[in-house]
Amino acid sequence: MQFYGMRLSTIRNSTAAAAAAFALAACGGHGLVPSQNAAPGFNAVTPFAANPCYTKAVQPAWIFRGSCDVTTLPPKGKSIALAPYKGISVTVKLGKNTSKNGAFVLVDALGGKAKDISKYKTKTFPPITPTLLKSVIYVEAVNGTANLKFSGNLIFTIKKKQFPGKTCPLSVLTGTFPKVKWFNSPFSGKISGGTMTFTVPGGALGTLFPSGLPKGPLYFNVACK
């Protein structure tokens, strides 16, 4: 099984780090972290507004137009919290890793009727099959470190008033463009009230990405049934 990010990264694998550097420079050269000292107006970006994140320089393929954070990933790990977008909040805690402050972008979108994902090479972003799963949120990560590996856990948290089901797998877009499809990973979210949490051991990522996360964009979805 080939993961989409692996193959797409061969198209533009040299652009990810430069892209993030471009966005950082455009926002004053600061890492855009989820705290009060983040660059004003970027994390809480208004959808569809002119913004460095909504460009091919930062997102080499499909462009998501939800909340975005452009930052760097230290080897000790980092938490990235996106500003609430249409009632949904996304937080990703990245554990210890092999990055050396490499560029890292996280951005979300709803897709579908929200029309917040631009076409790539005339192709519409592929949705999760609505007859089987009801999508909650799409998340794109643009990784600037080749063969990125984690030794600590990855914790992925979604906050929403109500979820459209109780069984919610974490899915990954796989294949080779333009023939891509969604793969439901063995990781399922645990729901407590309005919070859903995925805990992925760093070592378990090796079953999905044997060589580590590739450079370039990777696409994930949380959906429920």
How many angstroms separate the CA atoms of 171 and 204, rounded?
A: 15
Task: List the Cα angle 181/11/149 in 5-degree steps.
Answer: 75
User: What are the phi and psi torsion angles at 135 (to 5°)?
Assistant: -65, 140
pLDDT at 50: 64
Q: Which residues of the chain have pLDDT under 70?
A: 1-50
| pLDDT tens profile 144-198 | 999 999 998 999 999 999 999 999 999 999 988 899 999 999 999 999 999 999 9
